[in-house]
Amino acid sequence: MTLDLEALYIDLHRHPELSFQETRTAGIVAAHLMDLGIEFEEGVGQTGVVAVIRNGDAPVVWLRADMDGLPVEERTGLAYASTARGTDPAGNDVPVMHACGHDMHVTAMLGALERLAATKDEWSGTIVAVFQPAEEYGSGARAMLDAGVLERYPKPDIVLGQHLTPLPAGQIGVRPGTQMAASDGLTVKLFGRGGHGSRPHSTIDPVVMAAATVMRLQTIVSREVDPRDVAVVTVGSIHAGLKNNIIPAEATLELSLRYPDDDARQRVLARVERVVRAEAAASGAEVPPTIVTDHSLPPTINDADATTRLTRAFESAFGDGSVVDPGMFTGSEDVSWFARDAGVPLVYWFWGGVDPEAYAAAKAADTLDSDIPTNHSPFFAPVLHPTIERGVETLVVAAREFLG
């Protein structure tokens, strides 16, 4: 019996789950692995699943797929659109959608495992398939490592993974070196002195302090980072006050920072801290601001030799022009923790899910950014074919390239 991957994808898409809550998804993965006769373990790093296909001791290839959805209300209008709700960590009831394509990642992984298990006479070695929770929190890989995945399963010689992206369906995007940025999420608290809105002179106004800080932070990238370098400073959340005639006592900013490497990271972080402290001082704050790092992700760096080798394998499998260099993405990933902790190479590639005609039309009209929904958009809607098939094939080709 072969898996019906389209039905599997639609079912996963209809039933997305938030990070570390992927119990239904993990159960479906486990049920299919059971049907395929593949050894597996559930509950690894809370909701993770690890599957192992043993066909000789070496080499050991790890394949990784993430499983979580996002608190996004789906607006694709698809017949199989999600209407799911979930409870976020703050206890809020939120809509949930597979707006990043992790449902496609799981589908492709199960399809690839089925094919690899059925062709064991054509390869040798061991495949460890990692179904990871909570990529969107940036903490699922770490949870699985803390649960001992590197000690409990055959240690990898290479870690491979893939992500769906708004390229034309069938196309692959990968580059040697830095493929995705490092990132830090910071919470900044600014402390003023509250009071009556009619008597600003008797207060230290954290709203004005926050506004000045947000504006000044914009000058880090525009005035202080070398124009040839890449960095992002985004203030994604700003909260202060409850009422028009009360000057509040504090303001909270949440920042998302991105950079290609640790040097740039240190420089940007130092400048953010300098701006935050100086703006508080300029406002006359009596209590210095606090800056807390909520999460920190390393850059996703593709091993140069392995990436060159894999690009050749993809081109010979899918034809010349099937692989493009998509440039460095300013998004971030936690997949590289597996390779970093193991001290082995990583290759992480992207594959397209956009209707090729729609993509070509938007490109011709120079409207790619507005007309082609990206990951995390409520309109993110990969075409089913050939996206599913290509996602399976890329994993199989990549695994086979590095297996015996």
Largest CA distance in the chain: 81
Closer residue to Zn ion in complex, CB, 100/323: 100
- Phi first, then psi: give them for residue 389, nearest 5 degrees: -60, -40
Q: How far is the CB of 68 from Zn ion (least distance, A)?
A: 8
Residue closer to Zn ion (CB basis): 157 or 333: 333
- The DSSP output letter for 91 is S
Return the SS3 of 286.
coil
Any idea which residue has 């990043």 for tokens? 100
Element (H, E) at 307: helix 304-318
Give the contacts of 125 (CB within 8 A, at least 6 positions apart): 55, 56, 57, 58, 59, 60, 61, 403, 404
CB nearer to Zn ion: pick between 125 and 331: 331
Q: Work out how close the CB of 66 gets to Zn ion at its nearest, in angstroms, rounded to a whole number.
A: 6
For Zn ion, what does the binding mask look like between residues 85 and 124, x meaning CB under 5 A?
---------------x------------------------
CB of residue 383 to Zn ion, shortest distance in Å: 18
Residue 188, sorted as left (phi over 0), alpha (psi -120 to 50) or beta, turns out to be beta
Which residue has the CB atom at the shortest distance from Zn ion? 100
Nearer to Zn ion, 189 or 376 (CB): 376
Specify whether the backbone of 327 is left (phi greater than 0), alpha (psi in -120 to 50) or beta. Answer: left
Q: Examine residue 164 and tell whether it contacts Zn ion (CB under 5 A).
A: no
Helix (H) or strand (E) holding 86: strand 85-87
Cβ atoms of 356 and 168 closer than 8 Å: yes
Question: What's the min distance (Å) between Cβ of 382 and Zn ion?
Answer: 12
Instruction: Output the smallest distance, CB 139 to Zn ion, in A.
Output: 13
Alpha helices in 135-178 (DSSP H): 140-146, 149-152
Residue 63 token pair? 């394949």
Which one of the listed residues 22, 74, 103, 135 is annotated catalytic? 135
- Examine the residue annotation and report whether 68 is marked as an active-site residue of this protein: yes
Q: What's the length of the chain?
A: 404
Please identify which of the residues 17, 66, 68, 334 carries the catalytic annotation: 68
Give the footprint of Zn ion on residues 301-330 (CB under 5 A): none
User: Residue 19 or 203: which CB sits closer to Zn ion?
Assistant: 19
Number of residues that bind Zn ion (CB under 5 A): 1
Confirm whether 341 is a catalytic residue. no
- Give catalytic residues, as residue numbers: 68, 135
Instruction: Report the interface residues with Zn ion, using CB under 5 A.
Output: 100
